[in-house]
Amino acid sequence: MARQVVGATADGTPINAFDIGTGRLRAQILDYGAILRSLSYADATAERTELILSFDDVDAYLRDNAYLGIVAGRYANRIAGSAFTLDGTRYELSANETPNHLHGGTLGFGRRHWRVLSESEDRLCLGYHSPDGEEGYPGNVEVRAEFCIDDERLILTLQASTDAATPMNLTNHAYFNLAGDAAIPASAQWLQVLADGYLPVADGALLPTGEIAPVQGTPFDFRQGRVLEDAGYHPQLDLAGGYDHYLVMSDRRAGVVLFSPHSRIRLTLSSNQPGLQVYDGHQLDAAYPQLGRGICLEPTAYPDAPNRSGFPDAILRPGTTYLNRIEYRVERDA
C-alpha cells in the first residue's frame, strides 16, 4: 500500500491518495469523497491504460461539480422537490439542483473527508459517519466503502447502517473511457446491458415519470450490444441532451459490458442492484473540455424512489444493512 498526501481541504485537512494493486489492475483512491481517482490496466508489455477520467490537480476535486469518481450518497441520483415523506413525517433536503436534490445534496458523501478503517497493498476500507439531519436526512448513518483489487477485478463494497429509517442509495460515479485517450470519443465504446425496460424522464430536470417503458425499438435497447454513438434520434435523448437514463435490469446477476475497439479493453460490471443509470458525460463538454467524455455506469436503486410508491423500496431501517457490491472485471481481447 502506497499512501501520500496530495493536497488539503479548505480547513487544512490533508487529502491522502492510496494506491492499491500490484498486478495488471491498479487503482488510486482519495480519502476525500472516497474518490476513485485512477483505475489502470497493463497489457503484456506492461504499458498501462487509464480507464477513467481524472484530474491531475487534486484541488480540482474540491471545485468539481461533475462528481468525478465519488461515492454518491446518501441518495445517488435525484429526489424530486428535495423532499420526501417517510412514516408520516415530511423531510426537506438540500436543493443542490434547484428545486431537486442530486447525489446526496450540497456536499453529500462525495465532498466529505472519510477516515481510514483498514489498508493493505490490495485493499482499502474507508468509513464515514453521517449525522442525523445532514443534508436534511433523518438518522445517524455509518457508511463503509471497501475497495479491493483481486487479480483483474476491482470490487467495491458499499455498506451502511442507521439508527432511524432513512433513504439509502450508494454508488460510484466514475467516468469510463477505456480507450485511455481523450481524443477518442467515449461514444465509440460498445455497450451491452441486459435491460428490458427504462425509466423515461418528464423533462430536462431528468426526473422519472413513473413509467417503466420497454427498450424494444428505442436507443435504450442495449441487449445485443452496440456502439453508443449509433443512438439516432429519440425524444428522450433530446430532453436529456443525451443519455442520462435508468435501465431496469432483466437479471441482476447479468454483467454489463463496456468495450473499447481502440484499446481492445473490456470492462464487465456486475452488482446486486435492480438497475443502472447510464450517463454519457455530455455536460463535461462545457465544464472540462480537456477531459473529453466518459460513460458513467451507476448501479443503484431507482431514482426518486422515496417519492414513488410504485418503485422498489429504497429505505434503510435500523437493524438492517444496506449493501451495494459492485464488481469491475477488466480484460483485454486478443
Active-site residues, by number, are: 173, 298
238 sits in which H/E element: helix 235-240
Distance CA 247, CA 314 (A): 17
* Largest CA-CA distance found in the chain, in angstroms, rounded: 61
Q: Give the residue among 77, 22, 57, 66 at the shortest CA–CA distance from 284.
A: 66
| Beta carbons of 78 and 97 less than 8 angstroms apart | yes
Distance CA 315, CA 307 (A): 11
Neighbours of 134 (CB within 10 A): 20
Q: The C-alpha cell of 249 is what? A: 435490469
62 sits in which H/E element: helix 59-63
Distance CA 32, CA 114 (A): 6
What letters, b where the CB count within 10 A reaches 16 and e where it falls short, cover 148-171?
bbeebebbbebbbbbeebbbbbbb
| Beta carbons of 91 and 82 less than 8 angstroms apart | no
DSSP annotation of 70 reads: -
Beta bridge partners of 178: none
Show contacts of 25-30: CB within 8 Å, 24+ apart. Answer: 25/149, 25/151, 25/152, 25/153, 25/154, 25/330, 26/149, 27/147, 27/149, 27/154, 29/124, 29/126, 29/147, 30/6, 30/58, 30/61
Cα 176 to its chain centre, rounded Å, is 11
